[in-house]
Structure formats: structure tokens, C-alpha cells
Amino acid sequence: MKSKVVGESVDLLSGVTRRDFMKFCTAIAASMGLPMTAVPQIAEAVTSPKRPSVIWLSGQECTGCVETLLRTGHPTLDTLILDLISLDYSETLNVGAGHQAEAYRAKAIEENKGKFLLVVDGAIPVKDGGVYCMIAGKPVLEILNETAPLAAAVIAIGSCAAWGGVPSADPNPTGATPVHEILKAKKIPVVNIPGCPPNPYNFLSTVIHFLTFGTLPALDDKGRPKFAYDRLIHENCERRPHFDAGRFAEEFGDDNHRLGYCLYKLGCKGPETYNNCSTLPFNDLPGCWPVATGSPCFGCSEEKVGFHSPLFSKAKVIFPTPPAKHVDAVPAEKGSGAQKFAYGVAGAAVGAVAVALSTRGGKGDGSSSSGE
């Protein structure tokens, strides 16, 4: 199939219609906050016959980050690794194994020196010389230090690679360390895409940005792409109106929980966790993220929160509710117009008081947490 999307005829990805292909490029541009004028550039980069080499190293991990990549639908995994990128090494997805796989990794690095993308999932153990994670007889610590200086960019995918994750939880017997800490001495920048697992489109969008513009997307002070991690989960949470109105689930399975009320008192870490979970669901399914299913966010993507804070501890509320927002949480019979605005302010005040009481360990007046 041919297309003149980018100004000249190019072979589209096998089995993908022009419409679906342009939807994919538009979605990628939107997820990164790019203007529509960037769509042709993305299309041209994606259809380029020269695909970037990707070396994927795994440290102390559960394979969840690879599994989430397997669930991508736009594009599918086969399109991703066969048409968009050249996945030259991945311990999980390699066809070969043993000496054959290691030889191909060395060959791919040598042929693409300074041009390949290095992706790392899993924490890196440093205690006792890194012997607690070995690949082909070598510590992954040694392999990382050898490979990273030769890469065009380094991406740490998942909370284990970004912050240390589960392996770094107290007492951290193996000295599990995030990738950026390992490479800090070499002054090698690292893009962190935390999450357990992260949304695969956050990773894919980062790679597409690199393919399109030759640079990495804008990062925050923790090395995370701003397009995905610049807003708190709490800001766009579907249960946010209940928080503002002071309506909380007190226990799992109680009436308020069944009614879909806010999960803050059950330990939800959304108010202190930066991610786009509440706006970009998993598996392309609306409502496919923990809070929508009735489970509190445990802050997996936030440093020193996930895997370090007790699950049911109260989160720190970083930004209070703007009083004129989310007034729809207040029952309709309370009025409209200026009156509705007044009730919005009242609801925000109730939410703030409830949070303050919860932080001190109290439950307000002991009645239902509906705030009414």
C-alpha cells in the first residue's frame, strides 16, 4: 500500500491501513503535546527504512515492563519490533539464546555505536560486585557500565530501573540501585519512565519522539518525560469530585466504596504521585487502571512512595482543590449558577477538613464520610 502522507510515496507498515496509521501518528503527537503539524514528521520517521537499533537489558525485574509492551495495540508488538525499531537484543524476546544471543548483542552494539537506544528494566544490584544479577557469567552492573557510554540515549523503563522499585525496599540486601545512580558518575543522562508497570505508550511516545526529532522529549527534574509525568494522578482522577465534596470510602466493600467514592482514606497515593494513569488507561480499555476498579493507587511510579510508604498510610495532598472546580460532585438539588459555585467552595472546604482530620488519625464526627 502506498501513501503520500509525508509528501512522497512510502511503503506503509505491513497490514496497517492508511487511516489506522495516521490515527497512530496523531495519537502519538497528542500524547506528547505536539501540534498537528508534527504528525507528518512522525509519519516520515516511522516509515523510514532505517530503523533504530534497540538493546534491551534486564536487571532485577519481574518482566512486567516487557509484558506491558506486549499488550500494545497501536502498534502491535510485531509491528513495533519488526517495523518501527530493530530490537536487536532482549533476554525475554530473543529468538536465540546463550552464546548466540550474546554474540549478536556485541555485534549490534559495534555496528550501531553512538546510534542505538539502550533500554533497561530492573534495578541494578551493586553489593558484592553485583553478583546478585548475572547475565552470561557477567554482572549486569558490568554490562551496563560497558554499554551505556556507547548508546545514543538510555531509557530506564519501570520503577525498578528508575527508582530501585521492589528490589530496593528495606532492607535492600543486594544493594539494588536505579540506573541513573549507576551512570551518574559517567555523566550519562537517563530518561526515567517509572511505573509498575508503566503505560507502554509513555515508552513508545518517548522512542517515537527520538526517531522524529533526533532528541529526547522535555524532561522534569527527575528525568521523566513531562508529557506523561507533569500532572498528579489526583488532578484528573475520576473520583476527584468525591474528594472535593468530602465523600470517602472508609473500608473496602462498604457502601461508600461500592458507590465509587474517593479512596483517599484507604491509602490512595494519587495526591502525591505524578503520572497519566487517570487520563491514559492501560490496554486501550476505558477504566483500565487501579482506581477505576476500586483499588487505591499505591504510588508505584513516584520515588520514595511506592514500595517505601505503607500501603494504607495517608498521602500528602500536594495541591488543594481549586474552589470553582468539580462542582458537579455536589448533588443537583442544591441549586445552580452562583448557588452551585457556593456549594463547590463548601465541598472543597469539607474535603480539606476531612483530609486534615484523616492526617491526624481522626475520622471527623464518626459518621459516614459523605460530608453531608
CATH of the domain at 98: 3.40.50.700
Are 160 and 242 contained in the same domain? no
pLDDT at 14: 56
**Cα–Cα distances in Å, from 83 out to 49, 111, 256?**
9, 19, 48
Whether 249 maps to a domain, the answer reads: yes
Are 65 and 209 contained in the same domain? yes
Are 281 and 201 contained in the same domain? no
Are 140 and 166 contained in the same domain? yes
Are 238 and 221 contained in the same domain? no
236 pLDDT more than 60: yes
Whether 161 maps to a domain, the answer reads: yes
Question: For residue 310, which amino acid is it?
Answer: P
Percent of the chain with pLDDT strictly greater than 90: 45
Are 211 and 339 contained in the same domain? no
Whether 1 maps to a domain, the answer reads: no
Output phi, psi for 249, to 5 deg: -75, 135
More confident call, 81 vs 194? 194
- Asked whether the whole model's pTM tops 0.75, one would answer no
Are 134 and 188 contained in the same domain? yes
Whether 41 maps to a domain, the answer reads: no
Are 273 and 180 contained in the same domain? no
Whether 146 maps to a domain, the answer reads: yes
pLDDT at 281: 83
33 pLDDT more than 80: no
Residue 46 pLDDT level (bands cut at 50, 70, 90): low
pLDDT at 48: 62
CATH code, domain carrying 335: 4.10.480.10
Are 83 and 143 contained in the same domain? yes
Residue 337 pLDDT level (bands cut at 50, 70, 90): very low
Strands 176-177 and 124-125, bridge-based pairing: antiparallel
pLDDT by residue (tens digit) across 296-309? 999 999 998 988 88
Of 5-14, 68-77, 223-232, the one with minimum mean pLDDT is: 5-14
Q: Which domain holds residue 332?
A: 233-359
Residue 264 pLDDT level (bands cut at 50, 70, 90): very high
Whether 18 maps to a domain, the answer reads: no
